[in-house]
């Protein structure tokens, strides 16, 4: 069967239109062959949400926004957002569809906050919806305390400026000027004192330079005198050491002579020479000497006890007989 030229043109045109329609929907993010479940969510404000925006669960895209309807039959006006969920994920009717902003540059999207209750959501059911605070809202909340602190700082700064203005009244300015003049006088006095000290130091340096030879000569003489005194002291110390050594040698010699004499005496006693040697060696003489000493001791004791036996005194000149 041979097609006519007009039929061929018509078929190509239809195919081109279908392809263009499919490409257009693809670029919009819509999948015309999608067979996912549809859910409707009510919002009072869609915050710039548009069709074909992603629907995600925990960051994973599972569908898209199919349609946004304006319901103006009731007051106040609200919106019904139809979303499709292509993944076969089971959740309850209490699952919340939340509009949020994932980034500053990206527009609002929808995410499902799943609830796993027993009442499973079916195709065509209504889900509760809410709007999450955007990033700008979060920044505003974070900046609110900072703004309060900044206001406090600005208030303190204003108070400080007011205090400065009060301080800088005409009378206070005159006092400050007088204080600055006194300070300048004090600085000038310090400068003069410093100049005087510098002049004194220069005079001292000149005096030292002028008398440098005399001072060096005096120091040399003093050093020579100290050296001579040290030599004299050393000689005197050596002489004293020699005298002490001579005296010590004489004492040692005397002690050695006495020791020799004592040794000779002991040797004579041991050999029986002399009276002490005979007494030490002859036991008979020693015994007789001991007996004589005992008798003398007895006589002395008896004389002390009975003196009348040995001494007779007569008043009339008659001698009394000594009793034995």
CA distance 176 to 72: 75
pLDDT at 295: 75
Mean pLDDT, residues 49-55: 91
Q: For 96-100, 138-142, 267-271, which range has the lowest pLDDT when averaged over its residues?
A: 138-142
Q: Rounded to 10 degrees, what is the CA torsion of 4, 9, 10, 16?
A: 150
Mean pLDDT, residues 76-82: 92
CA distance 233 to 13: 138
Give the count of alpha carbons within 13 A of 15, CB side only.
6
Q: Rounded to 10 degrees, what is the CA torsion of 13, 18, 23, 24?
A: 100
pLDDT of 92-128, one tens digit each?
A: 999 999 999 988 777 899 999 999 999 999 999 999 9
Mean pLDDT, residues 277-301: 69
Q: Is the pLDDT of residue 319 over 50?
A: no
The angle at the Cα of 143, spanning 137 to 148, to the nearest 5 degrees, equals 130
pLDDT at 230: 73
Class of residue 114 by CB neighbours under 10 A (exposed 0-12, middle 13-18, buried 19+): middle
The encoded tokens of residue 177 equal 């000027």
pLDDT at 159: 75
CB-based contact 51:68 (threshold 8 Å): yes
Mean pLDDT, residues 145-163: 75
Q: Give whole-number Cα distances, 205 to 30, 199, 210, 213, 216, in Å.
A: 102, 10, 9, 14, 15
pLDDT of 25-46, one tens digit each?
A: 666 655 555 567 999 999 999 9
Band of residue 315 on the pLDDT scale cut at 50, 70, 90: very low
With a CB cutoff of 8 Å and minimum separation 6, the contacts of 230 are none
pLDDT at 125: 94
H or E element in which residue 130 lies: strand 129-131
pLDDT of 225-256, one tens digit each?
A: 777 767 765 775 666 566 556 665 675 677 67
Q: Is the pLDDT of residue 282 over 70?
A: no
**What percent of the chain is predicted at pLDDT more than 90?**
22
CA distance 176 to 170: 10
**Helices (H), ranges, 85-169:** 135-167
User: Could you give the 3-state DSSP secondary structure of residue 268?
Assistant: helix
Mean pLDDT, residues 144-173: 72
More confident residue, 313 or 190: 190
pLDDT at 259: 65
More confident residue, 168 or 66: 66
More confident residue, 148 or 86: 86
pTM of the model: 0.38
């Amino acid at each position: 069967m041979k097609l006519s030229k007009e039929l061929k043109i018509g078929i190509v045109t239809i195919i081109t239109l279908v392809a263009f329609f499919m490409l257009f929907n693809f670029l919009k993010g819509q999948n015309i062959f999608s067979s996912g479940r549809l859910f409707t969510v009510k919002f009072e404000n869609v915050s710039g949400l548009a069709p074909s925006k992603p629907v995600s669960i925990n960051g994973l895209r599972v569908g898209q926004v199919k349609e946004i309807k304006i319901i103006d039959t009731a007051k106040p006006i609200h919106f019904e957002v139809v979303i499709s969920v292509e993944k076969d994920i089971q959740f309850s009717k209490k699952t919340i569809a939340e509009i949020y902003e994932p980034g500053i540059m990206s527009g609002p999207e929808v995410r499902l906050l799943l609830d796993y209750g027993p009442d499973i959501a079916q195709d065509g059911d209504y889900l509760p919806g809410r709007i999450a605070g955007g990033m700008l809202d979060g920044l505003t909340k974070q900046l609110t305390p900072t703004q309060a602190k900044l206001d406090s700082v600005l208030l303190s700064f204003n108070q400080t400026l007011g205090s400065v203005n009060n301080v800088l009244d005409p009378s206070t300015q005159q006092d400050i000027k007088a204080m600055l003049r006194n300070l300048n006088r004090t600085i000038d006095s310090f400068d003069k004192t410093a100049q005087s000290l510098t002049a004194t130091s220069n005079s001292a340096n000149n005096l030292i330079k002028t008398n440098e030879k005399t001072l060096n000569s005096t120091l040399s003489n003093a050093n020579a005198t100290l050296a001579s005194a040290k030599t004299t002291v050393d000689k005197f110390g050596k002489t004293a050491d020699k005298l002490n050594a001579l005296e010590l040698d004489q004492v040692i010699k005397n002690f050695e002579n006495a020791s020799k004499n004592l040794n000779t005496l002991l040797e004579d006693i041991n050999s029986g020479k002399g009276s002490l040697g005979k007494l030490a060696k002859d036991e008979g003489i020693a015994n007789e000497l001991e007996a004589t000493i005992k008798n003398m001791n007895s006589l002395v004791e008896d004389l002390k006890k009975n003196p009348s036996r040995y001494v007779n005194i007569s008043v009339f000149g008659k001698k009394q007989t000594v009793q034995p």
